[in-house]
Amino acid sequence: MPDDRTLGVAMIGYAFMGAAHSQAWRTVHRAFDLPVTPRMSVVVGRNTDAVTAAASKLGWESASTDWREAIARDDIDIVDVCTPGDSHAEIATAALAAGKHVLCEKPLANSVEEAEAMVVAAEEAAQRGARSMVGFNYRRTPALAYARQLVDSGRLGTIRHVRAQYLQDWIVDPEFPLVWRLRKELAGSGALGDIGAHIIDLTQFVTGQRLTGVSALTETFVRERPLPAAAAGLSASGTEERGEVTVDDAALFFGRLDGGAVASFEATRFATGRKNAMRLEVNGSAGSLAFDFETMNELWFYDGSLPAAEAGFRRILVTEPDHPYVHAWWPPGHGLGYEHTFTHEVHDFLRSIVDGVDPVPSFRDGLGVQRVLAAVESSAANGSGWVDIPAR
106 in a domain, yes or no?
yes
Same domain as 144, residue 292: yes
Segment 166-171 mean pLDDT: 98
Q: Are 297 and 310 in contact (CB under 8 A)?
A: no
Is 1 part of any domain? no
Task: Report whether 177 contacts 170 (CB < 8 A).
Answer: no
Residues 144, 124, single domain; the answer is: no
- Identify the residue with better confidence: 247 or 235: 247
Rounded to 5 degrees, φ, ψ at 12 are: -100, 110
Say how far apart CA 388 and CA 380 lie, in whole Å.
Answer: 13
Domain at 218, CATH number: 3.30.360.10
Q: Are residues 221 and 246 in the same domain?
A: yes
Q: What residue numbers bound the domain in which 261 lies?
A: 140-361+368-381
Half-sphere exposure in the Cβ direction for 310 (13 Å, CA) = 5
Q: Looking at the structure, do residues 286 and 171 belong to the same domain, yes or no?
A: yes
Residue 59 · residue 76 · CB < 8 Å: no
Structure confidence at residue 391 (pLDDT): 87
Residues 334 and 254 in one domain: yes
210 and 110, same structural domain?
Answer: no
Average pLDDT value for residue range 249-274: 98
- Model confidence pLDDT, tens digit, residues 224-245: 999 997 555 555 455 679 999 9
Q: Is residue 213 part of a domain?
A: yes
389 belongs to a structural domain: no
Q: Which of 165, 140, 81 is nearest to 363 (CA)?
A: 81
Q: Are residues 118 and 193 in the same domain?
A: no
The Cα 213–Cα 223 span in angstroms is 29
Are 90 and 115 in contact, with CB atoms under 8 Å apart?
Answer: no
Q: What is the pLDDT of residues 12-71, one digit of tens each?
A: 999 999 999 999 999 999 999 999 999 999 999 999 999 999 999 999 999 999 999 999
Q: Over the stretch 339-361, which tens digit does the pLDDT of each residue have?
A: 999 999 999 999 999 999 999 99
**β 211-219/387-388 pair status:** antiparallel
* CA 281 – CA 246 distance, rounded (Å): 31
Which DSSP string corresponds to 205-229? HHH---EEEEEEEEE-S--EEEPPT
Among 138, 161, 195, the domain boundary falls at 138
152 and 273 assigned to the same domain: yes
- Kindly state whether residues 121 and 156 are assigned to the same domain: no
> Where does a domain end: 107, 138, 169?
138
**d(C-alpha 317, C-alpha 296), whole Å:** 9
What pLDDT shows up at residue 240?
78
User: Higher-confidence residue: 235 or 291?
Assistant: 291
* Residue 388 resides in a domain: no
Give the domain CATH number at 95. 3.40.50.720
Across residues 325-343, what is the average pLDDT?
A: 98
Distance CA 329, CA 340 (A): 9
The confidence score (pLDDT) of residue 2 equals: 39
Neighbours of 84 (CB within 10 A): 18
Distance of CA 238 to the CA centre of its chain: 41
Q: Average pLDDT in the 157-185 region?
A: 97
Cα end-to-end distance, the chain, whole Å: 36
Sequence-distant (≥ 6) Cβ neighbours of residue 220 within 8 angstroms = 190, 245, 247, 248, 249
User: Are the beta carbons of 363 and 119 closer than 8 angstroms?
Assistant: yes
Q: Is 387 domain-assigned? A: no
DSSP secondary structure, 28-84, as one string: HHHHS--SSEEEEEEEE-S-HHHHHHHHHHHT-SEEES-HHHHHH-TT--EEEE-S-
State how far the Cα of 47 lies from the Cα of 54, in Å rounded to an integer. 10
pLDDT tens-digit series, residues 81-138: 999 999 999 999 999 999 999 999 999 999 999 999 999 999 999 999 999 999 999 9
Residue 342 half-sphere exposure toward CB, CA atoms < 13 A? 21
Claim to verify: residue 130 and residue 175 sit in the same structural domain? no
Res. 4: pLDDT tops 80: no
Q: Indicate whether 306 belongs to any domain.
A: yes
Residue that terminates a domain, selected from 118, 138, 158: 138
Q: What is the 3-state secondary structure (H, E, C) of 231-248?
A: CCCECCCCCECEEECCCC
**Mean pLDDT, residues 207-234:** 89
Q: Considering the domain boundaries, does residue 331 fall inside one?
A: yes
Type of residue at 88: H
User: Mean of the pLDDT values across residues 285-292?
Assistant: 98
| Alpha carbon distance 151, 153 (integer Å) | 5
- The count of domains in the chain is 2
Please indicate, yes or no, whether residues 353 and 293 belong to a single structural domain of this protein: yes
Looking only at the bridges linking them, the beta strands covering 62-64 and 37-44 are: parallel
Same domain? For 122 and 164 the reply is no
CA separation for the pair 22, 385 (Å, rounded): 42
Residues 156-174 have a mean pLDDT of 98
Return the percentage of the chain with pLDDT > 70, whole number.
96
Percent of the chain at pLDDT exceeding 90 = 95
